[in-house]
Amino acid sequence: MTIRFQKLLLSLMVALGMLIGNSVLAQDVTEQVEHRYADNDGVRIHYAVMGSGPLIVMIHGFPDYWYTWRHQMLALANDYTVAALDTRGYNLSDQPEGVENYTLEILVEDVAAVIRAEGEDSARIVGHDWGGGIAWSFAALKPEMTERLIILNLPHPRGLVRELATFGQQHQNSAYARNFQQSNSHENLNAQGLAAALSGGDPDLQARYAEAFGRSSFDSMMNYYRANYPRDPYTSGAFLELPEVQAPVLQFHGLTDTALLPDALNNTWDFLASDWTLVTIPGASHWPHHDVPDKVSNMMKAWLELD
């Protein structure tokens, strides 16, 4: 056996081990969670919960569902109760019709409903992408319910609006969002296409996503953009009116994200009243919690343990 072949064989074994490990991980999370529902003014919000201890609420983005947090749920469940939402419109949560049912104020109340359903008055809040927009808004609008805030690949909304208003690279790269705001944009989406885009070629993961998206509402997904995404001339809107975030913030940003560029991170401290820990990750994409799950989970654990 040549040295080159030995190295190739070792690489294949490592890759196979990673795939097997991911399959076991997925299976373990699915088997360990308990499925519960919270009610916000007649709309049922599904969430998966596991672990015990202080409450962490996790909010996914587009297109995704609670399962996106599988790695972090396992990493944190020994010390925390981790509740991961299906935001309204997705998977097992209700799918009310109408753009008016997807405003930031309503999405924030969905998170509050989950916290109350768990018998708590406050929680540590985690959000990615649109979940990050909801999480930033929740922390700003409900400081009394926000103990700590963790954000993944969603610059503070006011920073994002600032960058859009320059009509530079961020504005160009946000053309997809303006397309999503169109009334018929949902007609261009399908479960298999979205699942294939998120699965990275893993057939088990693709099947899980296809199932979740198959029972989701694409019109609801687009309503997040129609109701909330900033519009030209970028001088008004719910994002610009957010008060300062009072809670400490941990923020991750994968630097190869082409949808949300890192320039919007500049001067984030202007929007915060407490400390801000920023972790930029070269080589990580829009989904750092998938790309480098151990790095993200370990940093979360360490930061959450700070006084």
Q: What pLDDT, in 10s, does the model give residues 275-285? A: 999 999 999 99
> Looking at the DSSP assignment, which residues form a beta bridge with residue 276?
249
CA atoms within 13 A on the CB side of 1: 6
* Per-residue pLDDT band at 8 (split at 50, 70, 90): very low
Interior angle at CA 280, CA 279 and CA 281, nearest 5: 115
Q: What is the DSSP letter of 254?
A: E
The reported pLDDT for the residue numbered 236 is 87
Percent pLDDT > 70 in the chain is 91
Please report, for residues 51, 117, 146, 158, 266, the alpha-carbon distance to residue 247 in angstroms, rounded to integers and kept in the order given: 24, 22, 6, 17, 19
Q: Longest Cα pair distance anywhere in the chain, in angstroms?
A: 67
pLDDT, mean of residues 164-176: 98
Average pLDDT, the chain: 91
Mean pLDDT of the 183-191 span: 97
Paired strand residues for 279: 252
Strands 123-128 and 249-254, bridge-based pairing: unpaired
pTM (predicted TM-score):
0.91
Kindly list the structural domains of the chain, giving each domain's residue range(s) and its CATH number in brackets, ordered by start. Answer: 33-304 (3.40.50.1820)
Q: Is 260 exposed, middle or buried (0-12, 13-18, 19+ CB in 10 A)?
A: buried
The larger pLDDT score, comparing residue 150 to residue 20, is at: 150
Per-residue pLDDT reduced to its tens digit, 192-244: 999 999 998 999 999 999 999 999 999 999 999 999 999 999 998 889 989 99
